[in-house]
Amino acid sequence: MRIGLLGFGTVGSAFAEVLAACGNEDVRITHVFNRGVERKRLHGHAKFVVDGAVWTERVEDVLEALDVDVIVELMGGLDPADGWLRAALGSGKHVVTANKQLIAYRGAELFALAASKGVQLLYGAAVAGGVPVIPGVAQGLSGDQITRISGILNGTCNFILSSMEGGADYREALTRAQMAGYAEANPSADVDGFDARAKLCILSRLALHAEINPDEVPAQTISNVSAVDFAYARELNCTIRQVSRAQLTPKGSGLLGDAVSASVGPMLVPKSSPIAWSRGTQNMVVTSGRFGGDVVFSGHGAGGHPTAVAVMSDVRAIAENSVQVRLPAKKMAVVGDVIAPYYLRFVVDDKPGIVAAIASELAKVGANIDSILQHRGFGTERLPFVVTTEPCLSSKLGEAIAEMAKFDFMLEPPLCLQILVVDDPETD
């Protein structure tokens, strides 16, 4: 089997190494496309590409090559990758990709094209790096009726937040992640939740059979979380993680048609939850099935080698003529409004009547206070304290927070984090 490799960056070069380590001379890279290809040929991992391979800056040299059976796309992004993969599939070539944005936004069309041409489109590396979540769900759990998926889908955010749990501040933890190669110079895709959101939509299609629009899924940044939030979280026997969560809405909920409740953002996670146990760049996905109960997938989700392992596994599946499991999916609306308990952190210029003013705004929207936490050692001119609420509707709580932000004693916009409920009842 002859491979045309699009991209010789962190993952592409690691894939070349993993492929060479397999020692199977019947599977080899015959073409490599990359911008600035001469520089890439000097990369230390170029030695893992067989002699005689074509290195090119013209993607057409790979897509139109007659001696390429499989296109392995590791460039990322929607365009021009979308056009490349359509051309590859249209010409009868199999495709393996790690492109989560492309699969999340345009996967349905690409799967249909692959099926019409009798070729495979595999994307095991698009979610959770080397953790076999996608084949595990598609093959190992296809007999169950999964009603909920939740977990940690971005290794960069998990590295940052677990570093903050150990005492680092946000900027320090982000710098460490960038120096280690986990975060880009512009970390927005990771820290603002867009990367995890795309992965959540891929898993929703696969596990919940729900085709949802990533742009409809609410995403909250982790950049507003500070060290003091971890101190308060510990008092509540929790930690803080970026949690991605999607759940089929209950029957009889009053919604018109089928829908999925979905969100991505930092949450307070009880330490009794498996999601709280994940450290560093680990990813974790928990599927909740009607018959099989909870199943946990865990492992390293960031870095070249873990991702390359998933790419190599897909290549081997094609080489062995494995039959791809095709699961049905239908378009569903996204519901961002949920009923849950919340953590509210305020930074105020302390004066009498602050708690009463906050309680009044919460009462107006039917939100009850569960607890109030305040640490000593902070000056009254800039005092952080926390209010937790009993379960309430997120949209109503948002209205109250918008009003609280207008108070003259409020020095920062209030931070609102959902508190994950471990024993959330299953959807019937």
Retrieve residue 209's tokens: 């059979």
Scanning 76-235, the segments in alpha helix (DSSP H) are 81-90, 100-117, 133-135, 155-165, 170-179, 188-191, 194-203, 227-235
Distance CA 85, CA 4 (A): 12
Distance CA 177, CA 171 (A): 10
User: Can you tell me whether residue 380 is helix, strand or coil?
Assistant: coil
Find residue 181's DSSP bridge partners.
none
Specify whether the CB–CB gap between 199 and 100 falls below 8 A. yes
Specify whether the CB–CB gap between 148 and 298 falls below 8 A. no
Quickly tell me which residue has 């210029």 as its tokens: 349
Q: Which of 47, 199, 330, 331 is catalytic?
A: 199
Give the length of the chain.
428
Query: Is 251 an active-site residue?
Result: no
Retrieve residue 181's tokens: 């190669």
Quickly tell me which residue has 């937040």 as its tokens: 161
Distance CA 18, CA 410 (A): 54
Q: Is-cis flag, bond preceding 132, omega within 30?
A: no
Specify whether the CB–CB gap between 147 and 289 falls below 8 A. yes
Distance CA 249, CA 85 (A): 34
**Whole-Å CA distances, 149 to 43, 145, 247, 296, 297:** 39, 12, 6, 10, 11
Residue burial 343-370, b: 16+ Cβ < 10 Å; e: rest: bbbbbbeeeeebeeebeebbeebebeee
Distance CA 87, CA 52 (A): 25
Q: CA-based angle 103:105:107, to the nearest 5?
A: 40
Quickly tell me which residue has 């101190």 as its tokens: 231
- Between the two ends of the chain, the Cα-to-Cα distance in Å is 46
Q: How many CB atoms lie within 10 A of CB 377?
A: 4
Would you please indicate which residues are annotated as catalytic (active-site) residues? 199
